[in-house]
Structure 1
Amino acid sequence: MAATMVGATAGSAATLRVGVQDDPDAMDPATSNTYAARFIFSAMCDKLVDITPDLKVVPQLATSWEWSPDHKALTFTLRSGVKFQDGTPFDAEAVKFNIERMKTMPESSRKAELASVTGVDVLDPLKVRLNLSQPFAPLLTTLTDRAGMMVSPKAAKEQGSNFGVHPVCAGPYQFVERKARDVVRLKKFPDYWNAKDIGYDAVDYYYIEDSTVRLARLRAGDLDLIERVAPTDLGAVRGDGNVTLHSIGGLAVSHLMINMGAGEKANNPLAKDARLREAFELALDRNVINKVAFNGEFLADNQMIPPSSPFYSKAHPVPARNIERAKELIAATGQTRVPVEITYANALTDNRVGQIVQSLASQAGFDVKLLPLESATAIERYLNGNFQVFIGNWSGRSDPDGTLYAFFSCNGSQNVNKYCNKELQQVLDEGRAESDDAARVKIYEKAADIYLTDRPTIPIYHPNWFFAARKSVDGIVMYPDGLLRLTGVKPKS
């Protein structure tokens, strides 16, 4: 592939060549479920609002917003002169179309995120109001991600369910082509509202699953930038005078998701007995996983929300490894050896985690079988709940609702393991309706009590984001959500 990449970009210094770890799923913000797609969307699809590196909500396609006194309506004033990449205008009618599309499409993954929105009123061409069934505190932060990405109504109507084959958004780069498991090509949209701050003529995203191979190609000059540098490769990056390391603490979490009720794979010991889930957690040593797999560069933790969040539960510290207690719990179920199958995408980091988990769990009485799969196959199995345990990697959200509701509400967009606890559902609904931050902290403390006891998933660590770029690339700013914004990124003069 290296020769192909060089040939494809020969004489084109204004093409940014990016190496990515995963092949994206659906290239439609309404149906996408993966970080890989979000990473590319950040160049294609502007949102109503965005976040800053310190997680403040800031304007993008909307220039300002105002909550109604009862917090049951949110009115946006939109940026004027914006065009979609097919030349059609972005306006309040387009916002109405997008919100309604994401709420009503049968295959939409945004329904739960926008469930509180009951209707959209066009007040004038540049003013639109979202009406809510009840106060929904996370709405603004929800709209900083795919729920706030605006696609062309004209293109969406014409293409229907095939929209993801040739997506049309309102961002700085427009779609050119996609070759599955190879490359996604974008080119600069000349009529973008902020085109003066877009420094490359084109962006090519190359799918290179192996992190060490990505780094080798970066150092050889075949790539300009790579995402998710493996912690074990950081020494090589730091020692290379032609490459710059870019890093930031993130919102992401890696966790062992247990199939609780999705199809035949839910017929597994961990799903059937909470004591075995507790034993499995007690068999693990998160600090060992972090040190052996990641040279201690990540943050070992037991919660879906990172400690940097004000909603992190300090009442639930990371449990110490306790092999004897794990064995007691297994014995209490009448078993001696417990079979567990762990599925994951065959990337270097997850391979290492899987092997360490296999070794640690074996000492307590778990016979762990590892099932590494090619990335697209692994994602397909994940989305269909076709696993016993899955090593999940979630890029995180700035509001706890974006993570906890997605995974733990009964109909959450990431609830592929079909876990449903009615008490937790009620608590998560309360968190959505409460606008006072101090009250929300107490609500999410209750949520932590429940999901950390039920253990439908077992969080392992929070990764830091490590990108690397050739020194010829200027203007990179890292964000805690791990997405690459290309505004201001340009070839170094």
Structure 2
Amino acid sequence: MNSRKATAALALATALALGASACSSDSKSSDNGKKSSSSQGTSAAKDAALTGIVNASDQKGGTVVMENSDVPDSLDPGNTYYGWVQNFSRLYARTLLTFKPAAGKDGLTVVPDLATGLGKASPDAKTWTYTIRSGLKYDDGTPITTKDIKYGIERSNFAPEALSNGPTYFKAYLAGGDAYKGPYKDKNPNGIASIETPNDTTIVFHLAKPFADFDYLATFSQTAPVPAAKDDGAGYVKHIVSSGPYKFASYQDGASADLVRNPQWSQATDPIRKALPNEIKIKFKVNANTIDNNLLAGNTTVDSGGTGVTPQTQAKVIGPKYAKNTDDSYAGATSYLAINPNVAPYNNADCRKAIEYAIDKVSVQTAIGGPVKGDVATTLLPPTVNGYTKFDEFATPDNKGDATKAKASLAACGKPGGFTTNLTARSDRPAEMAEATAIQNSLKQVGITANIKSFPAGKYFSNFAGVPSYVHQHQLGLMLTAWGADWPTGYGFLDQIVDGSAIKPSGGNNLQELNDKNINAALAAAIANTDAAARTKAWGDIDKMVVDTATVVPLIYRKNLLYRPDSATNVTITQAYLGMYDYLLLGSSK
């Protein structure tokens, strides 16, 4: 999904391992949101929001102001893959299950949302049944039924011609998923047969193969209900029908959105949301440094992107005046370089290995702001995700690159003098552009000339790096990206970036177009295994298999150096959404 010291990371990973033994609804708590000791209010101090709630308040009112340096891929809950939108969309789009709005490890607990409880699984983890609450309504007063949830899944997973940004887990795992053409092409009013809705409050999923993480999948925004009569494909984003405590008062594509209270929402049917602010405003295409300045001045509540302050602002906020308002959170995400073997000369494994050995990862870390912005990575899985196993397949002295090994690999692939290549990054993300420059300098030392091509974040995957035809035509051999888990297990992290089935005509995240039959089979076997310990081990093994292909260069286990103004209330980090602030809790005293 488009990341404390080692002991804390290990503790979190252990907690995840204990909470990820799906296949039985008893394996995860169904707590409906009552406070625990870790979610009590905390005074403002450096890193206070990592484990507590800063400026806790039950006061209703105020306006939360959000800003973002680019545009979202989409605010349509069925057409998004950015982590911040998954977090943000919970304000207006309820899902079957969600992550508990709470501080610390409690925020990783899966709790019922539209549903009355967690999924009831068959012993083989191929059939999952949910019951939703009675009395649910959209913002127009019409009732929400399980048929709307089914329709939302159908449109989001089976209509790439209209909605291409999100993942396709349901398509991959539902029985008959390969044959169903989606609601816009298949006019059968019954839709896909493997999702049954025997009544308005029951929904049953029949899978073609076991899927032990299904409760995590039920937290995804694609399970938000969508009324078929109001849907017009890609245009739905302009008039989203709300199932949450807020509805859209206005939406200007690429510019802004304004959310106000939904009078049809009832806390009686939604015990996990407090819905304290009166209004939530979000602005797009605001310069990243401007956002930082607005945060420091108290004019903005939060940078919705959740990736932290820019390198230019970092030196100021770690100083004595502002440090107490910062939280340096592991993002549960890894920044990495994708190497596409379908772009010459990377069809030769030795040319890919030359890239692996040439890059000075410490220079990349320094370019983005040093250790405060993350640790040097040697694996795709970050230490905070269940299944992480430490290894280093392309070790170099002090992680600073090895020119000798890089040049030997160049000679082995028939390019002893080096070559010219293209390297992509997101133009509105200063840290990623800084990474690109550091990599460019590293490659230059061994005779490889990297021309940097930059693209806007909002269209990076849908129009450029995530479009294989564009990548091949424009010879985009090296592509910078970052990835966090769709849910905090190895499968939730790896599947969409390394499985061959995740390669899509557009909106893809498997940028290296990895389609290795052994890796594909290992992923399928692991997620079908109802033994939690065996699954956990498998994720580390698969991670190593991927890195061994030399199609990815792990760079940084990312941290987000976040800033919270004094006016922000109920501020806490959620590891479920990439270490950003939890937007369901966030309020404002203004």
TM-score, structure 1 normalization: 0.88
Residues 425/345 of structure 1: CA separation in 2 closer, same or farther (3 Å cut) = same
Counterpart CA distance in 2 for 1:174 and 1:434 is 41
Q: CA deviation at 1:185?
A: 2.3
**Could you list the runs of 5+ residues in structure 2 that have no partner in the other structure?**
1-60, 176-193, 503-507
Structure 2: which amino acid aligns with 1:399? T
Instruction: Supply the AA of the counterpart residue of 2:341.
Output: M
Q: CA deviation at 1:452?
A: 0.6
Tell me which residue corresponds to 2:496: 406
User: 1:8 — aligned with what?
Assistant: none
Give the 3 Å change call, closer, same or farther, for CA 166–393 of structure 1 in structure 2.
farther
Q: Which moved more, 1:46-55 or 1:418-427?
A: 46-55
Note the 1:415-430 alignment, pairs <5 A: 415-430=510-525
1:322 to 398, 402, 416: 402
Partner of 2:413: 333
Q: Which moved more, 1:356-365 or 1:368-377?
A: 368-377
4+ residue runs over 6 A deviation: none
2:546 to 439, 451, 462: 451
Matched, 1:301 2:377: yes
What is the number of residues matched between the two proteins? 474
Rounded to whole Å, the distance in 2 between the matches of 1:113 and 1:476 is 33
Task: Name 1:212's counterpart in structure 2.
Answer: 289
Structure 1 contact 44–170 (Cα < 8 Å) conserved: yes
Task: Provide, for residues 388-442 of structure 1, a one-character-per-residue CA deviation record: whole Å limited to 9, x for no partner.
Answer: 2221122323122223110111121522443211111111111221121211133
Distance across 1 between alignment mates of 2:521 and 2:406: 31
Deviations 1:447-467 (A, max 9, x none): 123211112222211212333
What displacement does 1:16 show? 1.2
Cα distance in 2 for partners of 1:138, 1:296 equals: 33
**What is aligned with 2:302?**
225
Whole-Å separation in 1 of the counterparts to 2:528 and 2:168:
17
SS in 1 for 2:117: strand
**Aligned twin of 2:151:** 97
CA root-mean-square deviation: 2.6
The alpha-carbon deviation at position 27 of structure 1 amounts to 2.8
CA separation of 1:287/1:113 partners in 2, compared to 1, >3 Å: closer, same or farther? farther
Deviates further, 276-285 or 177-186: 177-186
1:128 is aligned, of 203, 214, 223, to 203
**1:253-307 superposed Cα distances (whole Å, 9 cap, x missing partner):** 211122333xxxx3x322x111121111111122332134222111211222111
Amino acid at match of 1:489: L
Is residue 126 of structure 2 the alignment partner of residue 72 of structure 1?
Answer: yes
Kept after mapping to 2: 8 A contact 1:242/1:471: no
Contact 1:137 1:432 survives alignment (8 Å): yes
Does residue 329 of structure 2 align to residue 248 of structure 1? yes
**Offset, 1:222:** 2.9
Higher alpha-carbon deviation: 310-319 or 449-458:
310-319
Separation in 2, partners of 1:171, 1:115:
28
Q: For 1:347-394, what per-residue CA distance to the aligned partner results, in whole angstroms no more than 9, with x for missing partners?
A: 210111111111112112211111223334544212323332221122
Structure 1 pair 18/212, CA: closer, same or farther in 2 (3 Å)? same
Supply the distance in 1 between the matched residues of 2:532 and 2:238 (Cα, whole angstroms). 41
Counterpart pick for 1:51 among 95, 99, 104: 99
**C-alpha contact (below 8 Å) 2:158/2:171 kept by paired residues:** no
**Which whole-Å CA distance do the structure 2 matches of 1:103 and 1:489 have between them?**
30
User: Which residue number in structure 2 is paired with residue 273 of structure 1?
Assistant: 348
Matches within 5 A, 1:104-143: 104-107=158-161, 108=163, 109-118=166-175, 119-143=194-218
Say yes or no: does 1:310 pair with 2:369. Answer: no
Q: Helix, strand or coil for the counterpart of 1:64?
A: coil
Cα 1:243/1:79, change in 2 over 3 Å: farther
Give per-residue Cα distances to partners, 1:9-44, cap 9 Å, x unaligned: xxxx82211122331123323332334543432322
Stretches of structure 1 that go unaligned for 5 or more consecutive residues are 1-12
Residue 327 of structure 1: how far off its partner (Å): 0.7
Q: CA deviation at 1:123?
A: 4.1
Q: 1:353 to 1:213 in 2, by over 3 A?
A: same
Equivalence for 1:384: 467
| Contact map agreement 1:21 1:209 (CA 8 A) in 2 | yes
Contact between 1:302 and 1:317, CA under 8 Å: does it hold in 2?
yes
Structure 2 contact 341–348 (Cα < 8 Å) conserved: no
Contact 2:63 2:278 in 1 (8 A): yes
Give the TM-score taking structure 2 as reference length.
0.74
| Identity value in percent | 20
Higher percent of residues as strand: 1
Specify the SS of the correspondent of 1:115: helix
Of 239, 263, 270 in structure 2, the residue corresponding to residue 190 of structure 1 is: 263
Looking at structure 2, the residues matched to 234 and 79 of structure 1 have their Cα atoms a distance apart, in angstroms, of: 46
**Alpha carbons of 1:42 and 1:464: their partners in 2 closer, same or farther (altered >3 Å)?**
farther
Tell me which amino acid in the other structure corresponds to 1:327. K
Report deviation, 1:247: 4.2
TM-fit CA distance, 1:103: 3.8
Instruction: Output the CA distance in 1 between the equivalents of 2:554 and 2:224.
Output: 29
Higher RCO by CA contacts (8 Å cutoff, separation 6 or greater): 2
The answer to which of 446-455 and 483-492 deviates more is 483-492
